[in-house]
Amino acid sequence: MILKRLALLTSLLLVISAANSQTSSVVTQDPQAISILTQSLNAMGGFAAVGAIQDYTENGTITYNWADEPVQGAVRVQGKGLTGFRIDATLPAGVQTLAINGMAGRLKTADGTLKRLAPYNFANAGSLSFPALRLASALSNQTVSLSVVGTVQAEGHQVYQVQAIFPVDPTLATTVPIADLGTLDFFIDSTSFQLVKSSENVRSERDATVAYLHEIVYTNYQPAGGIAVPFGINERIGGQQTWSITVQSLSFNSGLSDSEFIIN
């Protein structure tokens, strides 16, 4: 039962919202939003350093929280650009893998069950644990709308809330109109410009009309390869912490191939 619940949780974990064909073609880019995101990216190392990252591999521990019963294990997280993402969690019951390659996502539970995940969930799924790539994408893509929502409190910080609306392939249109698909909010410390968290409304795999607030909180930034990287990554869905990752080691540009992000 725990494995079934954990599988559902992990599929929700990476239900990352995607814009559909109804996304407005009008792009607006607020200069203040651009300035804030640029300062945040500079705090992480800048365009040149982040742009040199082709792929990354993180090793550490993961703790899933399920009905107040934590399940802990070793974890390896791999990413390639914004289209390849993979989590391998070695749990007491075995290895659970989630792999995304472009619009294709699959989850293999520890008992070997393989589940295909809805493709519209993965337009913005890359770099979940390495947010510098997402910031760089928001700034470099002229089809991304950027605006400042305001200054708020988040995770004990006074932050700028900057909203980005990413475009997606129109083939990802769902049968249910979802107005906020593709919308991702960045919460950036107003003094250090460190990215504190990102949030969005995600959709259930079973019913696209059911939304959850999905938050990724970034902590314990440390230098690695000239880039400031969060070594603590925590996820909340609907206000409940679902998992946390503690990164213990990190490597860049090991030459990961697209095949690393396909499981059968």
Phi first, then psi: give them for residue 75, nearest 5 degrees. Answer: -140, 145
Phi first, then psi: give them for residue 113, nearest 5 degrees. Answer: -65, 130
Question: Is the confidence at residue 16, as pLDDT, over 70?
Answer: no
Q: Are 184 and 150 in contact (CB under 8 A)?
A: no
Q: How far apart are CA 98 and CA 75, in angstroms?
A: 11
Higher pLDDT, 115 or 21: 115
Closest C-alpha among 230, 195, 150, 169 to residue 20: 169
CA 59-61-62 angle, to 5 degrees, is 120
Average pLDDT over residues 93-99: 92
Please, which pLDDT band fits residue 82 given cuts at 50, 70 and 90? confident
Residue 20 has what pLDDT? 37
CATH code: domain of residue 105: 2.50.20.10
Q: Are 101 and 15 in contact (CB under 8 A)?
A: no
Question: Is the confidence at residue 212, as pLDDT, over 90?
Answer: no
- Count Cα atoms within 13 angstroms, Cβ side, for 25: 2
Higher pLDDT, 140 or 104: 140
Residue type present at position 222: Q
Q: How far apart are CA 77 and CA 60, in angstroms?
A: 9
Residues 6+ apart with CB under 8 A from 133: 50, 53, 79, 81, 82, 126, 127
Please, which pLDDT band fits residue 53 given cuts at 50, 70 and 90? very high
Residue 117 has what pLDDT? 81
> What percent of the chain is modeled with pLDDT above 90?
62
State pLDDT tens for residues 19-49: 333 444 689 999 999 999 999 999 999 999 9
Q: Which residue in this structure is represented by tokens 């860049």? A: 252
Residue 201 has what pLDDT? 82
Q: How far apart are CA 22 and CA 170, in angstroms?
A: 8
Question: Is the confidence at residue 3, as pLDDT, over 50?
Answer: no
Please, which pLDDT band fits residue 66 given cuts at 50, 70 and 90? confident
Residues 6+ apart with CB under 8 A from 157: 187, 189, 190, 196
Domain that holds residue 157: 2-261
Residue 176 has what pLDDT? 64
Chain centroid to CA 39 = 20
Cα dihedral 159, 232, 9, 12 sign: positive
For the chain, the domain total comes to 1
Closest C-alpha among 186, 243, 184, 180 to residue 5: 243
CA 75-122-174 angle, to 5 degrees, is 150
The tokens describing 150, both together, are 């305001």
β-bridge partners, 226: none
